[in-house]
Amino acid sequence: MPRLRPAEFESEDETPAGPESSNKQKERMTPDPHWSLQKMIDPSKYLTLFGRLPHKLSSTNYISWMFSVEATLDTIDLAEYVNGSIRTHKPSHINYPSWRAANALVRSILVTNMAEEVAVQMSHLRSAHEIWSEARRLFSGQTMTDFTLTITSLICS
């Protein structure tokens, strides 16, 4: 008795089965590189983000600062540089110039939105992800007071 196989339907964006269809399937399965790696970033478009967040990171406001920075970086689709989704590229990598420019922009946004004494502690770090991780390591042990105040101010606003 022959085995039944599920029916295969073509969607509008699929091509018929054939020798080149497996190559197209591989292309679709390969994620596109982040937009910031496809072309050089223009920092002048983001100048308003430098020093414009409501708080500069200090030893007492990590949670509210983190929320503000995450929201800002999500808005411009660069949060992947701090959360580690975009790996650090070596100078020999084809995308290194684009990565370096975007990483520098995110680093600048982070550091200019830190109190001077905090920024000095980050001066030896070269990637936005390292700065983000170090800030979390140094300041995330705060009590829930800052978090509660942030949520309360958001609800009461």
Strand partners, 57: 114
In a domain, 138, yes or no: yes
pTM: 0.67
Specify the higher pLDDT residue, 139 or 3: 139
152: left (phi over 0), alpha (psi -120 to 50) or beta: alpha
Is 76 domain-assigned? Answer: yes
- Domain assignment present for residue 50? The answer is no
Q: The domain containing residue 112 runs over which residues?
A: 57-156
- 6-10, 16-20, 51-55, 107-111, range with greatest mean pLDDT: 107-111
Return the minimum-mean-pLDDT range out of 15-29, 92-106, 126-140.
15-29
Q: Is the pLDDT of residue 115 over 60?
A: yes
Residue 35: pLDDT band with limits 50, 70, 90: confident
Q: Is residue 105 part of a domain?
A: yes
Domain assignment present for residue 128? The answer is yes
Within-domain flag for 125 = yes
Alpha carbon distance 76, 34 (integer Å): 12
43-52 residue pLDDT tens: 777 777 766 7
Is 96 inside a domain boundary? yes
Residue 8 lies in a domain: no
Say if residues 69 and 111 touch (Cβ distance below 8 Å): no
Number of domains observed in the structure of the chain: 1
Looking at every residue in the chain, the average pLDDT score rounds to 78
User: DSSP labels for the chain?
Assistant: -PPP-------TT---SSTTHHHHHHHHHSPPPPHHHHS---GGGGGGGTT-SS--B-TT-HHHHHHHHHHHHHHTT-THHHHTSSPPPPTTSTTHHHHHHHHHHHHHHHHHTB-HHHHHHHTT--SHHHHHHHHHHHHTT--THHHHHHHHHHHH-
Give the mean pLDDT of 119-148. 85
Residue 13: band (very low, low, confident or very high) from pLDDT cuts 50, 70, 90: very low
